[in-house]
Homo-oligomer: A and B are copies of this chain.
Amino acid sequence: MKKYFSFEAIMNMKKQERVHFINSLGGFKSVSLLGTINNQGQTNLAIFSSVFHIGANPSLIALIFRPSPPERNTLRNILDTGFYTINHINENIYKQAHQTSARYDSDISEFDATGLQPEFKNDFKAPFVAESNVQFGVEFKEQIEITINNTIMIIGEIKEVYVPENCLCVDGFLDLEKANTLTCSGLDSYHKTVKIDRLSYAKPNKEITSIT
């Protein structure tokens, strides 16, 4: 049995209730840790569920910044230094990852506060998260203002990637379950996944098949 919510019913929800409700409607999301460093050498780590793919040629990834702190340290570091890392979250670190969303004073690194380990490698300017199985380094490319709700979209190009060897498939697909990557829903719900199927490229009048 479905429950119907009119526009008025949605608008009449308490603010925090609407935040949970609308955020959930978007479906399952990627959830990852963004690692940055400022020009004084202080690291920052923040959890984001607004990272999304926008294209593979060039290799671009985007994310949304809300108008309020604490994410703004991440944004400032990206704009100041031009580089950031994106690190998938797994079951061993999701609580520490969630804890990075607390509003720490700006002189405290969330790496120190949560115990997650910064990992610098290959001369990439921003820190990776050592405990993360899927890590990639990104260079800032473009900032787009979304004026309708005062949010900012940041687009970056993927510059280098680290993935577990056993999750790489012959066609380039990454088996994220083998990397223990989690997904999230709403503001605060973390989930493992169970693969149902990979499906072949769809064509009219041709039955799709499973890719094994």
Q: Is A41 close to B, CB under 8 A?
A: no
Q: Is A12 close to B, CB under 8 A?
A: no
Contact B66 A55 (CB under 8 A): yes
Residue among A14, A182, A199 with most chain B CB within 10 A? A199
Contact B188 A211 (CB under 8 A): yes
Q: How large is the interface on A (under 10, 10 to 19, 20 to 34, 35 or more residues)?
A: 35 or more
Could you say how many copies of this chain the assembly holds? 2
Complex interface: chain B residues within 8 A of A60 (CB): 148-149
A191 smallest CB distance to B (angstroms): 4
Assess A196 versus B91: contact at CB under 8 Å? Given A25-B61, A54-B64, A155-B146: yes
A199 to B80 Cα, complex, angstroms = 32
Contact A53 B23 (CB under 8 A): yes
Contact A194 B192 (CB under 8 A): yes
Interface residues of A (CB under 8 A from B): 1-7, 10, 13-32, 50-61, 64, 66, 86, 88, 91, 94-95, 98-105, 108, 113, 122, 133-136, 141-142, 144, 146, 148-149, 151, 153, 155, 158-165, 168-169, 171-174, 176-177, 181-183, 185-204, 206, 208, 211
A-B contact pairs, 6 of them (CB 8 A): A4-B160, A7-B159, A19-B172, A25-B53, A142-B148, A188-B200
